[in-house]
Amino acid sequence: MTQSAARRVNRAEVVDEAFLRHLSALEQGRSTASDGGSIASADLLELFDSQMVSRQLDLMARVKRAENKVFYTIGSSGHEGNALVGRLTRHTDPAFLHYRSGAFMAERYRNLPDRDFVADTCLSFAASTRDPASGGRHKVWGSQPLWVLPQTSTIASHLPKAVGTALALARGARDGHDLPVPPDSIVVCSFGDASLNHAAAQAAFNACAWSRHQNLPVPILFVCEDNGLGISVPSPRNWVHDSMARRHGLTYRRASGLDLAEGYQPVSEAIAHCRERRTPVFLHLDVTRLMGHAGTDFEIDYRSPEDLAAAEARDPLLRSAERVVVRGLMQPEQIRRRYEQLRQRCLEAADRADQTPRLASFGEVVGPLAPVSTAAVMQEARRSPAADARAECFGGPDRLPEAQEPRHLAIQINRALTDLMLKIPEALVFGEDVARKGGVYTVTRGLWSRFGQRRVFNTLLDETTILGLAQGYAMMGYLPIPEIQYLAYFHNACDQIRGEACSLQFFSNDQFRNPMVLRIAGLGYQRGFGGHFHNDNSIAALRDIPGLVIGCPARGDDAAMMLRTMAAMARVDGRVCALIEPIALYMTKDLHEPDDGGWLFPYPAPEQSLEPFRPRVYHEQAADLLIVTYGNGVPMALRCAARMRARGISVRVLDLRWLKPLDLAAVARHGSDCAAIVVFDEGRPDGGVGEAVVTGLVEAGLGGKPVRRVTGRDCYIPLGDAARLVLASEEQLDQAAQALLTRPREL
């Protein structure tokens, strides 16, 4: 057969016809199967039925995709042995699944007698708004009542949050926390053999080992479904076994996913070990891959015909049919009838799903992404901790922070965190060095001694793990307040927020949430310390994350009130919030002159908070010049305004405070009041906040007004005084303002 002819062969039809031929052979008594295995006949029959349902859904997807009725063709064929895991775990065990989990889901659906697995799955394939998993936003395996959390990652970025969920579950069971699942639950996390090599997977395994090394319970079942391929790249022989069999801190078990009778007992034992001993188990499940990676994958381009034939000969449905026939549970003709009934049922369900509504407007699409319940958020933000608890914590009524003298940013953040911990018992503060040390900049100093190591704790030095923990704790009913030590370190783990945390509400149609308040020390202008990793002002990656709330307070009172609002947004609306704390302003006390105390502010009373996304305005009556800025730029702009005012020029300063979403309407409103506008953005020229502000001004019809942007250079920030050659400066701000105000007006 020529290569072009081989490409025209429909491997789905080959696999389908091979199964039917196998049934004919069984009718003639040709079988190598025995009646062995410890699996009960009732289990075998139902598992086999789940396998056939999953197979027919795969076949349906290939047929109906050609008719443009479904939009997803990555199937589960060859992986149907994961039905064992679906049956032997509980439907209250949180599951983070590999995309080839059709048979697993068919088994879990047995716990929902009022729901039709085939119909629901066809709705998902068809991107129907009636899809109970995502509301038509993606083909995902997901179910709120079955505790299957939708995953869109096709590799391993879901593993860290699965580990976080297991750790949170174990902690909650010990602490008496009100868990949303039974305290003896385990976490199920499945993935392919190629995903084993992903950095996120290795971070997850390391976090488990690190935790077990300290005798912490981690009840998680990793299920590596090993088909020997990463799309077209073969996994080296024995790679999974040799990598994981002796991994410190993990118990390795191997089972067949090709033979239900052989796999049943090892899978059952692996699950029991995980549940009873509360330790991480790595279940190495042998499977095969049939019909290619997806419908558009021509395997013949990278696999020989002999290799394909060998893989197809390992089809688990062939072995399951033999087991059922040898036990006398069904005759081959009965299997054939059931198989064809399921085919018809899937095709008809797909046709019905195609007639249901699909997302037809942006409002429908975006609905679950970023809810803002302003009234409820403000009510929660203004809720105060118990007065007696505050007085005891701070050392008496006369020692309450609002009764003290004005203080700088770091102190006020610390006080606000204390109030949040008092107000919200499920709040947790964690990250690198945050406990005894109190953080690199002492922002969390004293929290560990006040609230104990159960609520304030150090993590291992890995941002992927920190953000995975945050997601897991959130899903188990905690309010995590993780710290990323420097903004540059966030980029090591950006996908945990972009691809995982912020996407969960969207792809689950708001059925699952992982709220958090993420604190990140960042931005530039540190003196005597720094270089690139400690003076990083790159926030473009954060601002590009759909649904993420970003705040950047320049002063202590704003920081305290912003934290309260963010915590409320997380609790009320499930939002993921990031607070960027300007390192250079942590200890700043003065504004214009040494010892003037101009950047010290009183601590706002606990019932005070910020309305979401509203900027702060200084000198609101000024009309000659508007300076739009944030973070470190705010005190710079205020000093510029003072110098201009001495020359008779009035300057209004707009501190954005909230960097996502930006209140561009407020920017335009203030811009229209002033003769000229300078946008001061300490970030780089490309991808920064300043670009968005200028674009907003133009789109608001202010493009004809004199506008200038001042930014840093397109360069990494070097060490020492050389940093000043890269960062935007007050001198540049003065020059831009002067140039705008002295430019000749057109006649």
662-699 pLDDT, tens digit each = 999 999 999 999 999 999 999 998 988 999 999 999 99
Burial class (CB in 10 A: 0-12, 13-18, 19+), 8: exposed
What CATH number is associated with residue 732? 3.40.50.920
Residues 343 and 378 in one domain: no
For the chain, percent of residues with pLDDT exceeding 70:
97
How far is the C-alpha of 659 from the C-alpha of 549, rounded, in Å?
8
Residues 190 and 248 in one domain: yes
pLDDT (tens digit, 9 = 90+) per residue, 589-625? 999 999 999 999 999 999 999 999 999 999 999 999 9
Quick check: 368 and 503 in contact, CB under 8 A?
no
Query: Which of 346, 189, 214 shows the shortest CA–CA distance to 282?
Result: 189
Domain end among 563, 585, 607: 585
Q: Is the pLDDT of residue 747 over 50?
A: no
Quick check: is 598 in a domain?
no
Per-residue pLDDT at 746: 46
Query: Which of 114, 572, 157, 135 shows the shortest CA–CA distance to 365?
Result: 135
Residues 214 and 347 in one domain: yes
Residues 552 and 643 in one domain: no
What CATH number is associated with residue 52? 3.40.50.970
> Under DSSP, is residue 356 helix (H, G, I), strand (E, B) or coil?
coil
In this prediction, residues 559-566 reach a mean pLDDT of: 98
Q: Is the pLDDT of residue 722 over 90?
A: no
Per-residue pLDDT at 106: 98
Residue 225 Cα distances to 46, 486, 497, 542, 664, angstroms: 21, 37, 26, 33, 49
Per-residue pLDDT at 557: 98
Give the pLDDT band of residue 294 (cuts 50, 70, 90). Answer: confident
Average predicted confidence (pLDDT) for the chain: 94
Quick check: is 592 in a domain?
no
pLDDT (tens digit, 9 = 90+) per residue, 492-539? 999 999 999 999 999 999 999 999 999 999 999 887 666 777 888 889
Q: Write the DSSP assignment of 128-180 as a string of letters.
A: BTT-TTTSSS-----BTTTTB-----SSSTTHHHHHHHHHHHHHHHHHT---S
| H-helix or E-strand spanning residue 696 | helix 689-697
Q: Is the pLDDT of residue 460 over 50?
A: yes
Beta strand 233-234 with 229-230 is antiparallel
Per-residue pLDDT at 153: 64
**Does 71 or 317 have the greater pLDDT score?**
317
Give the least confident one: 78-87, 296-305, 309-318: 296-305
How far is the C-alpha of 228 from the C-alpha of 149, rounded, in Å?
26
Per-residue pLDDT at 530: 66
Residues 209 and 350 in one domain: yes
Per-residue pLDDT at 8: 67
How far is the C-alpha of 83 from the C-alpha of 576, rounded, in Å?
34
Residues 6+ apart with CB under 8 A from 424: 479, 567, 571
Q: Is the pLDDT of residue 5 over 70?
A: no
Give Cα 253 to chain centroid, integer Å: 29
Residues 564 and 640 in one domain: no
Residues 485 and 381 in one domain: yes
Query: Structurally, how many domains does the chain consist of?
Result: 3
Per-residue pLDDT at 288: 96
How far is the C-alpha of 254 from the C-alpha of 223, rounded, in Å?
10
Quick check: is 610 in a domain?
no
In this prediction, residues 429-457 reach a mean pLDDT of: 96
> Under DSSP, is residue 79 helix (H, G, I), strand (E, B) or coil?
coil
Quick check: is 602 in a domain?
no
Quick check: is 599 in a domain?
no
Residues 190 and 273 in one domain: yes
How far is the C-alpha of 452 from the C-alpha of 490, rounded, in Å?
26
Residues 277 and 393 in one domain: no
pLDDT (tens digit, 9 = 90+) per residue, 383-428? 999 999 999 999 999 999 999 999 999 999 999 999 999 999 999 9
CB atoms within 10 A of CB 15: 22
Task: Report the amino acid identity of residue 177.
Answer: H
Quick check: is 364 in a domain?
no
Quick check: is 452 in a domain?
yes
Quick check: is 367 in a domain?
no
Per-residue pLDDT at 56: 97
Per-residue pLDDT at 717: 87
Q: Is the pLDDT of residue 34 over 60?
A: yes
Query: Which of 591, 641, 635 shows the shortest CA–CA distance to 619?
Result: 641
Per-residue pLDDT at 1: 56
Per-residue pLDDT at 231: 87
Quick check: 375 and 88 in contact, CB under 8 A?
no
Structure tokens at 448: 């560990």
pLDDT (tens digit, 9 = 90+) per residue, 120-138? 999 999 999 999 999 999 9
Residues 85 and 229 in one domain: yes
Containing structural domain, residue 731: 616-742
How far is the C-alpha of 133 from the C-alpha of 123, rounded, in Å?
9
Residues 393 and 345 in one domain: no
In this prediction, residues 432-447 reach a mean pLDDT of: 95
Give the least confident one: 26-40, 238-252, 419-433: 26-40
The distance in angstroms from the start CA to the end CA of the chain is 80
Residues 222 and 278 in one domain: yes
Per-residue pLDDT at 300: 86
Domain end among 541, 564, 585: 585
Per-residue pLDDT at 99: 92
Give the global pTM: 0.95
Give the pLDDT band of residue 293 (cuts 50, 70, 90). Answer: confident
